[in-house]
Structures are given as structure tokens and as C-alpha cells.
Amino acid sequence: MVYIESGTYVPLYSLDSGKVKVKAFYMDIFPVTNADFEKFVAQYPEWQKGNVKAIFADRKYLHHWQYKNKTGKGSTALKNSPVVNVSWFAAKKYCECQGKRLPTVNEWEYVALANETKKNASKDNGFYQKILDWYSKPTTSALANVGKGFRNVYGIYDMHGLVWEWNLDFISALATKDSRDGNNLDKNEFCGAGSKGSKTPGNYAAFMRYAMRSSLKASYNIQNVGFRCVKTAK
């Protein structure tokens, strides 16, 4: 894991105009791989394919695995690629069983600000464009191995360019209902355009991430959504 120093950043959405403080934490260098997840389901068979209760994962759970507890024959290349088709419940449980947890949206976005040379590349339009270019590419049937792509200044790989990742509070910016009548004091409710209330309206890549997160349900299993773990620094 990599130690991430505490700091502040301006999130895409917040209820005030100030920066948000992110406490120090440790983050996994790579997303969790299929090989990692095979070890997990071997130890916790209730999370094997076909054994998980429907409330915790839909029918696409580990859809790309040939067997209930492993990827299958001829899948050597799959071992070190990020595990996908895992629900939020499964990802959360995996992290907890490692003595870790899923990163919060603030922790993930804080690290995602880093490019190859700067911890905060929010002024680098070229970096944002590179992320958008990654997002515009369709997901391939065979994901690349972890650690073969983007490495940021912290030494963390694949924050961008490989898979979307679950966050602990992934629906924290979820709009709940329209409050355009102006009489409702709950200013966190949805109002027409998604850019309302945004603190960094030029960060289109972050808009896509928030929109993606808000489209998910915790039981969903999607072919391009994986995860990584973090740990609170003491």
C-alpha cells in the first residue's frame, strides 16, 4: 500500500464553497485482481459464484468466471487483470476481510487528481483530456493486467484507464428529488441540470465518474467496474 498524506481538495459537489479535508490513509497500489478474488472466495465460499444471496449480487456476479470458485481453464491472462462483475457488497466484504475498507469518494477523487508528476493536476487540461479519451474507448472483452497502464505521482497504478472502481459511499452525491420550487431547505436535492452546485464545472471527467456512480445499485455487477482497498492511517 502507498501512504497518502492528508490534504484538501475541491470536490465536484459540496454544500459549501470551501475545500474538503481528506485525512491520511493508505491505498492499494493496484486494483484487486481475479487471482486475489479467487483466494477470497476460497476462504469465504459464501461469496463464490452461485452462492451469494440475490440481495447482495445480481445474476451477473462473476459472470466472466468459468467456475464458481475460479476463472477457469485457459484463463492465465485473466489472473492478473482486475476483478470485475463484483457487487459493492462483495467488494466491501473483500476489503473488510483484508483488514481494509473501500475508499470514500473523497479519498478516491483526492488521489485521482494526481497525474504522473503532480499530486494536484486540476489545472492540467491535457490530463483531463487524457482521462476523457480513456473514458471514450469501449471496454474490451479482455481487460489488461493491472500495473501496465497509468502510474501517478504517488506510485499508484490504474486510477484511470483500466476500470471504474467502487467507492464506500458511491451514491453520496445521488440526487433524490427536484427542489426547484425554492421552498425546500434541503439544498442537497437534485435540481435540473447536473452541473448545478458543481465547484469545478470544467472537470468533465469527474462529472462522468459521479454520473456513473449515481447510476449504480449496490447489487450490480458490471464488466468494467472493479475496486481497490484502502486503510485508515493511525
User: pTM of this prediction?
Assistant: 0.85
Tens digit of each residue's pLDDT (9 = 90 or more) over 107-147: 999 999 999 999 998 888 888 888 888 888 877 778 999 99
Q: DSSP character for 138?
A: P
Band (209; pLDDT cuts 50, 70, 90): confident
Least confident of 34-43, 76-85, 138-147, 183-192: 183-192
Residue 124 confidence (pLDDT): 86
The per-residue b/e assignment along 36-74, b for 16 or more CB within 10 angstroms, e otherwise, is: bbbebbeeeeebbbeebeeebbbebbbebbeeebbbeee
